[in-house]
Amino acid sequence: MIQLSSSPHIASKITTRHVMWAVVISMLPEAVYGVILFGIPALLTICASVATAIVSEFLFNKITGKKQTVTDGSAAITGLLLALVLPPTLPLWQTILGAAFAIIVAKQLFGGLGSNVWNPALTGRAFLFASFPAAMGANWISPLPDAVSSATILSTLKQADAVTSATTVGAAAPIDYLALFFGRQAGCIGESSIMLILISAVFLIATKIVDWRTPVFMVGTFALLMWISGGDVLAHVLSGGLVFGAVFMATDYVTSPVTAPGRIVFGAGCGLLTFLIRKFGGYPEGVMFSILIMNSIVPFLNKLTPRMYGYKKQGGSK
């Protein structure tokens, strides 16, 4: 998730606010498409999550006497990101609980914007996953007009335990890679369309809101390891939250390294952990856990690859 921090791309409070809302706008295609795919339940989840995040931030600042920050866009980003990585069938009261936890516990209790250790939206999702595992991981529906219970591609891959050919999972029907790319698949609200996520990524990278290194090395490392292990690389990359997490979650200014080498290591580490969890763990996904684990070692990565301010290479001037 992209939020305020000491970033070279942000020069003022006004610019920061503009960047925040630009990120919100970049996620709107995924949100709209999620509503098209899953209908009113997805719309209600998005509205409930964003509204709860904004209200939670407002009330926390009001009660503690802190300066109001709801207009900077960070709470809206947290709420929208959380909603987009939730199942469309999740009960609204659980969505509200997760959004409040993300803002109050994962963000404000750590000191507010710029002080949190872990990505707030992913922390809120982890809280919901630990508290309501059945609702979070076992009740998927296919896109409209079918809207019936359906297993995700990752669940199918996990159940089959191995991919036996380039186009089939066990004895199942051939995988429709185009459908996965364009987003006709069961899953979380905003993770379905890889095409839309890539369009958002191009916009965010072109405007220098995010650094390309983290998402590229995260997806690249995962794909390389999956290929070496004999897995269906396309099926794994085009399904689940890998691309969404690489673009929107792993690039959070606050919880990712500040240096280029650090971002490369961070992205590669996220890709490695996602591969290990998907390939050898009992859970078919892994993106959420990989990013949160790597968030924990960001201070070490920043010290390992320190940034020097005010100096040039030998032979240059200060």
Cα–Cα distance measured from residue 72 to residue 295, given in angstroms and rounded to the nearest whole number: 23
pTM for the predicted model, two decimal places? 0.87
The pLDDT tens digits of the residues spanning 190-232 come to: 999 999 999 999 999 999 999 999 999 999 999 999 999 998 9
Q: In the structure, what pLDDT confidence band is assigned to residue 282 with cuts at 50, 70 and 90?
A: confident
149 by DSSP, 3-state: which?
strand
- For the record, the structure tokens of 22 come out as 């630009």
The pLDDT tens digits of the residues spanning 139-198 come to: 678 887 766 565 677 877 766 644 443 444 444 567 889 989 998 888 899 999 999 999
- pLDDT of 308 reads 52
Residues in contact with 60: Cβ distance below 8 Å, sequence separation at least 6, in sequence order: 66, 103, 104, 108
Kindly report the average pLDDT of the chain as a whole number.
Answer: 86
Cα–Cα distance measured from residue 175 to residue 168, given in angstroms and rounded to the nearest whole number: 6
How far apart, in Å, do the first and last CA atoms of the chain sit? 34
Percent of the residues in the chain that have a pLDDT greater than 90, as a whole number: 66
Averaged pLDDT, 17-24? 85
More confident residue, 187 or 250: 250
- For the record, the structure tokens of 185 come out as 């698949």
- Could you tell me if residue 265 is left (phi over 0), alpha (psi between -120 and 50 degrees) or otherwise beta? alpha
Q: In the structure, what pLDDT confidence band is assigned to residue 311 with cuts at 50, 70 and 90?
A: very low
Cα–Cα distance measured from residue 217 to residue 57, given in angstroms and rounded to the nearest whole number: 33
The pLDDT tens digits of the residues spanning 95-123 come to: 999 999 999 999 999 988 788 999 999 99
